[in-house]
Amino acid sequence: MSSTENNGSLTKATLGSSIVAGIVLVLFILPAEYNIDPTGVGKALGLTVFNEQGEVTQGAQQSGDSANQSVVLTVPAGKGIEYKLSMNKFEKVTYEWQTDGGDLYVDLHGEPAGDTTGYFESYTIGTLPEMKGSFTVPFDGSHGWYWKNKTDKSINIQLSFSGEYIVEGLK
Amino acid sequence: MALVSIEAFAHGVDDSTRNFLQSNTGVQILPFMYIGAKHMVTGYDHLLFLVGVLFFLRRSKDVLLYVSMFTVGHSLTLMSGVLGGIQVNAYLIDAIIGLSVVYKGFDNLGGFKKVFGVQPNPKAAVLIFGLFHGFGLATKIQEFHLPSDGLVANLIAFNVGVELGQFMALMFILLGINYWRRHSSFNKFARVTNIALMSAGFMLVGMQLTGYFIN
């Protein structure tokens, strides 16, 4: 193989290429692929939306009060996803969801705004193919669903909801 | 309602393909060929490796020989991996594929001769890395639990598709490299490209190893 490299420039090339790779990894690739974002650059650029937990096919309406919204979510085999709404104390949401086949473990719960202890309050827990209802939240914060797919095939959820909230989306 | 779907490509298989793979029955030659070809054309890790392999090959005889070594390597492990049910961790395999890109970039820069004083046989290297690339493909395919009805024929079709896709991608890669070879900037271009290859390879390794450790 032909080359014009000497030892010094070869070392420089190898080191340089690995340093560039490391920087690109930390700034862009890891945030986009795995939601690992130590610098915050990934989030600032909006790259963390692809986090591995699931994929969204989302309706055109993004936010708003009382609007009826609907999203299709995919829960990969053996994994869990969260879909959250930001709500103020005593606000209410009416919802309905169903899978395209198969039961999902679900935990409808809320996390208080600003809490860092990991505390959450569950409103409903079950393993079901569909569910409908409403909830009025007892505190300001992030409220919504955790679904876990315990089967070996991915399951789609059609979720619709209306009420007072700001969509936080997939977590 | 306007629907926007986010599809993940790269080394994986996108959602509509996944649905097809899981629900198909019997022998379906053309769809499997198409998936194989698409996989190769959109599989940037394979393509980066091929760019490295082709870089300093001038004669079409050499191109044919090296590409055949790669093909033999990945066909062997693709077929035996799926039929033998050999499961290898996908992240580790993909990290090794990333390493193959680093290796080839380093090799093209003359690294092995300069640093270690020996030039490892490039044909053997292509064959060996071809085996790993095939294991990567096999591991991906096995995640779909393909129906056993028509499996062998479908796999052969998939493999033929991989070769066709590789052939199409190769034409573009060769056109680009040959175009530059006629310019005086080629040596500089070669150096920059191979350093960039190494960097991209390091990125792949880092990405896959991170995936391995967090999953």
Helices first, then strands: H and E counts in chain A? 3, 10
Distance CA B52, CA B111 (A): 13
Where does residue B10 fall: left (phi above 0), alpha (psi -120 to 50 degrees), or beta otherwise? left
CA distances from A126 to A122, A145, A154 (A): 11, 11, 19
How is residue A25 annotated by DSSP? I
Task: Report residue A126 as tokens.
Answer: 């079950």
State the ipTM, two decimals: 0.71
Q: Give A20's contacts (C-beta < 8 A, 6+ positions apart).
A: B199
pLDDT over 90 at A72, yes or no = no
Distance CA A130, CA A106 (A): 10
pLDDT of residue B40: 79
Cβ of A18 under 8 Å from any chain B Cβ?
A: yes
Chain A partners within 8 Å of B4 (Cβ): 57-58
Chain A partners within 8 Å of B203 (Cβ): 21, 24-25, 29
Chain B partners within 8 Å of A3 (Cβ): 108-110, 114, 191
Residues 125-154, chain A, touching B (beta carbon < 8 A): 152-154
Which among A132, A131, A129 is positioned nearest to A100, based on CA atoms?
A129
Can you give the pLDDT of all 215 residues of chain B as single tens digits?
233 333 333 334 555 666 666 555 667 788 888 888 887 777 888 889 999 999 988 888 998 899 889 989 999 999 899 888 888 888 999 999 999 999 999 999 998 888 888 889 999 999 999 999 998 888 877 776 677 778 888 888 888 988 888 888 888 899 988 898 888 888 888 999 999 999 999 999 999 999 999 87
Confidence bin at A5 (pLDDT 50/70/90): low
Where exactly are the structural domains of chain A?
3-48, 53-170
Confidence bin at A1 (pLDDT 50/70/90): very low
Distance CA B201, CA B105 (A): 8
Which CATH number, 3.30.390.30, 3.50.50.60, 2.60.120.680, 3.40.640.10, labels domain A53-170?
A: 2.60.120.680
Q: Give B96's contacts (C-beta < 8 A, 6+ positions apart).
A: B132
**Which of B145, B190, B195 lies at the smallest CB-CB distance from A17?**
B195
Mean pLDDT of A42-48: 79
> In what helix (H) or strand (E) does residue B148 lie, and over which residues does it extend?
none
Cβ of A24 under 8 Å from any chain B Cβ?
A: yes
* Residue pointed to by tokens 């198409």: B34
